[in-house]
Amino acid sequence: MPAIESRSFSRYKSIITSIAPKKRDRQMPCVKYSDLEMALSLVSAGYMIDTAAYIDRKNGKIYCKSSELDEYIEVPDDVGDSSLYATVPGKHELDLGKRLVLRFTALELPGSLDQVYAIFRRQGAYSRYKDLLEGHGLLEKWYRYEEAAIEAALREWAEGEGFTVEPTGEE
């Protein structure tokens, strides 16, 4: 008797599957990684000027808006609508600031963590941190680590927002 039940179920399952509406494969808008990285840089430098970047959810086009450059840049009026545009986050929102520095330090210079905490208590921290790394021959390694972390964070964010990011080599 159990064999009959399982055969009946599989028969109904195949019927249901064949008549169920197919999910439409909605193609995700594509964004060039280099454009996304530039938008992140502009947004992250926004402490000097009020800057924001938005990605059109339909076509992947990036718009940058700046209080200093509004008269020179054409941005759609509805750019603030989060259902139509994704707002590009800054480095700190992606944990690419001090936390990234501390992770790298813990990996490469664990004995210098207290010194790095002290460095980041004052202005000009990144400059002094890079001096510390250069003294230990780790500056180039830091740049590679930071670059990889930025790319991973941007790709994860973009995919979470429904965008496909072009592979770095194909841009």
Give the distance between the most distant pair of CA atoms in the chain: 78
Q: Angle, nearest 10°, between helix axes 125-135 and 139-160?
A: 130
Does residue 112 surpass a pLDDT of 60? yes
Give the CA-trace dihedral at 67, 68, 70, 75, to 10 degrees.
-70
- Reported as a single tens digit per residue, the pLDDT across 50-79 is 788 999 999 999 988 877 665 556 778 888
Angle, alpha carbons 104-49-36 (nearest 5°): 55
If DSSP codes are grouped into helix, strand and coil, which group holds residue 56?
A: strand
Task: Give the residue among 98, 136, 90 at the shortest CA–CA distance from 120.
Answer: 98
Q: Where are the alpha helices (DSSP H) in 20-119?
A: 33-44, 98-108, 113-119
Which tens digits make up the pLDDT trace of 15-35? Answer: 433 343 333 345 789 999 999
- Which residues, in sequence order, are bridge partners of residue 53? 64
Please give the Cα distance from 62 to 29 (Å, whole number).
11
Question: What is the reported pLDDT for 26?
Answer: 59
pLDDT at position 12, please? 41
pLDDT value at residue 79: 84
Q: What does the pLDDT look like over 78-105, one tens digit per residue? A: 888 889 999 999 999 999 999 999 999 9
**Helix H or strand E segment including 18:** helix 2-19
Please choose, from the candidates 138, 51, 139, the residue with its C-alpha nearest in 3D space to the C-alpha of residue 88.
Answer: 51
pLDDT of 10 over the 60 cut:
no
Q: Which residue has the higher pLDDT, 154 or 8?
A: 154
Q: How large is the average pLDDT for residues 102-111?
A: 97
Bridge partners (DSSP) listed for residue 64: 53
> What was the pLDDT predicted at 64?
85
Average of per-residue pLDDT across 131-141? 98
